[in-house]
A = this chain, B = another copy of it.
Amino acid sequence: MNRAFFYGIGVGPGDPELMTMKAVRLLGCCDVVAYPTNVNGDSFALSIAQEVISSNAIHLPIFVPMNRKRDLARKAYEIASQHIEQHLLKGRSVAYICEGDPFFYGSFAYLYAYLRTDYNIGIIPGISSVMACSAASGKPLAGRNDTFKIVPATADIYNIKLALQQDDSLAIIKIGRHFEKVRSLLCELDLLNQAMVIESATTDHERIYKVADWQGETLPYFSTILVYRGAEVW
């Protein structure tokens, strides 16, 4: 691994075997490994990658409060980027690992914004949970001339409805406590039976079922709903 490089490394959706050869090589020789944690200090990204990280690597857990007060998150990313910078200034390579892909709805983009102008950057794409959900559910995402949209359940309800009306294929990500809002829309548009829930794809907790079959009011954060409305030309 090059010295004083800041890497954003996607470690994929959950199954450690879905890491790329490149991610494994770089994590095996990085000086510092940084990763997002929850409030308890647990890190999903670390749990995926831990077996391949160099035993000599310095660990740098990063906790960012996830709530509506964006100033708190911004401050946390700023401080984290300063910590990373201190390592880079000592000539160390730093790998920030993220579940899925680093540039696809991930926290890496914030650190990247702080550090990109002054340091060497390497971005290693990872398998997105969206592709993993499609594989797990046994339904192709899109083909031929299909349009395919990804929309976070946190988005404006108008945008979700628009996608459900216009696009051939749709992935609604980060479902969590927004499930009821999404279910109501699917019901209104008569799509309940075409909508699949995929929880924690490729992990030991993977579960797959129709939205129509789920009676609960919420879903885990790492849940995705896939809806295919296209012509299924395959």
Contacts and interface: CB of A to CB of B under 8 A. Distances in A.
Interface in A11-40: 12-13, 15-22, 24-25
A106 to B, nearest CB: 8
A145 B138 contact: no
A128 B130 CA distance: 11
A19 B18 contact: no
Number of copies: 2
Main DSSP-derived SS at the A contact region: mixed
Interface centre among A109, A126, A146 (most CB of B within 10 A): A109
Contacts of A21: 16-21, 24
A121 to B, nearest CB: 7
A70 B234 CA distance: 11
Contact of A144 (B112, B124, B134, B152): B152
A74 B80 CA distance: 53
A149 B168 CA distance: 11
B121 A125 contact: no
B142 A105 contact: yes
Contacts of A234: 109-110, 112-113
Given A110-B234, A140-B112, A156 B151 contact: no
Nearest to A77: B234
A116 B101 contact: no
A27 to B, nearest CB: 12
